[in-house]
Each structure stands twice: as C-alpha cells, then as structure tokens.
Homo-oligomer: A and B are copies of this chain.
Amino acid sequence: MLQIPGGRDEALSKQSISIMALIGVPIIEHGDDVADAILKALETSNIQPLDGDLVIIAHTIVSKSEGRVVHGDEVSVSGRARKIAEQNGFDPVQVELALRESKEVIRSEGALITETKIGLVCNFSGVDRSNAPEDSYILLPEDPDWSARNILRKLIDATSVKLGIVIADTQGRPWRKGSVNLAIGSAGINAFKHNRGKQDLYGRTLKRSTVCQVDELAASAEPLMGQADEGVPVVIIRGYEYEDGSESSRGIPRPKSEDLFR
C-alpha cells in the first residue's frame, strides 16, 4: 500500500495534497465501462480509495467509451468546411466535425475557434486526432457532467466512499500562450469554491472571491497525464478539502451576454 500523506485522517490534512497517476487503465473502446476500468486499475495499483479522493479523468477515455469517435471515411465534408480548411491549411474532416459540434463559429481565420453546443469556447470544438485510432477523430463527450455523474455513481456503489470526479481536456486560452488542462465535466464536487464572507490576513471580510476549483484540479492532474503516449488517463488527487454542490462544469463558460472580456 502506498503511504501517501494528506488523507483526511492524518495530521497533515490541509497541509499537503498528493497527486497520483493511476497506472494500468487499459485502452478504452466504445462500450467499455470507464468506472469498471478505474476500479480494476485501483485494485492492481493497490490504491485504496479514501473519502474525499478526487478522480480526474482525461475526456478521451470517456469519449471513446461513449462512442464519440468518428472515422474520417464516414464524414462527408460540406462546402463551408472545405473552404475554411483550404483557407487555413486545416484538415477538412476535422473542420467539418468541428462545425457540426459547434453552435457558433467565433473565428475561422488562422484558427477555428468555436462555441460548442454545451457552451465551451475552444479550438475545433475540441475535436482532436491525438490519441485517436488511425484516421479517426475524438469528439468531446456530449454531456460531460452527465458522464461524470454516471461514473461517480458506479464508483460510489462499488467503493462506498465519498468521491468527486472531474473530466478534463487540455485547451488553448485567449490571451495566454500554451494549453492548460481544464474541467469540462464534474460530479460530487462543486465547480466553484466561494470565499464570500471569509476574512483576509488583516481581518477584513473579502467582498467576494470565486475560484474555479475544478479547473485548478484539472490543471494539477495534467503533469501526470501528459499529452503524448504516457497513457495515464486517470489521476487521483488526495487531501484536497472541498464541498459538493449544485454548480456543475456546464456553468463555467460565461454566457456571451455576461462575458466582459469579449
């Protein structure tokens, strides 16, 4: 058994967080059960889940298990997609799928930035060839919060411990170079941490401070997941204290009307 500090029962609680790669999750195919794969990997890794553990899952395995993988041959490319692809040197099939997954195209010159049907603003609607089977494309899960709740329910049924789930994707950002891992779905943990009413160092009440904790947790997991062939689609975070709540990851993207940065 790994001796990892930061469990709730230890004195170190609140002073240390452990991030552990879950080794041994197999390549997931359409119809495979992600929760089952995680449970088996926990067992072979000899990691006993503890109350409060967070399970951070790369969206690719969720998409694959849900059949959100499309072979290029199945896709007929529209005129609009072909034009955007030609103008930018993009893969026409990837453009076509990105358009199908989008509800609005934000930019199509130099980059294809869209707003997806669930409101994520990202490159190519999150449609990606990396870690996809030959000539195939991985789409984002249709409803990642639903996927997270579904996996969570199975994990809790099997382990009887309180867990939280974050489904993560690595995406580019406006205004800052480089991608970071962020949350596209979650369950068992509130998406935000609200510091309303807390006091600062000098005893003044903070007016309001809202941290997107699931994005920070997704970012924390990326170093162990990696983007290439590391094959670590699941990471366990232990020792992070959080509350559950009704705010899901679906609520993270700002509606256009409220986005003061646009």
Binding site for B on A (CB under 8 A): 2-6, 12, 14-21, 23, 27, 106-107, 110-111, 113, 121, 129-134, 170, 173-182, 191-192, 195, 198-204, 206, 209-213, 215-217, 219-220, 222-224, 226-229, 231, 240, 251-254, 259-262
Contacts and interface: CB of A to CB of B under 8 A. Distances in A.
B19 A19 contact: yes
A15 B5 contact: no
Given A17-B220, A209-B227, 5 more contacts: A2-B16, A132-B202, A173-B174, A180-B216, A200-B229
A209 to B, nearest CB: 5
A20 B16 CA distance: 4
Given A215-B219, A216-B222, A262-B174, A18 B2 contact: no
Give the residue among A132, A178, A180, A213 with the most B Cβ atoms within 10 A. Answer: A178
Nearest to A255: B177
A175 B121 contact: yes
Nearest to A22: B15
Given A111-B260, A261-B174, A201 B21 contact: no
A219 B261 contact: no
Given A21-B16, A110-B260, A215-B180, A131 B175 contact: no
Given A18-B16, A240-B223, A260-B111, A130 B209 contact: yes
Contacts of A211: 170, 178-180, 222, 227
Contacts of A229: 198-201, 203
A206 B131 CA distance: 9
A132 B200 CA distance: 9
Contacts of A129: 204
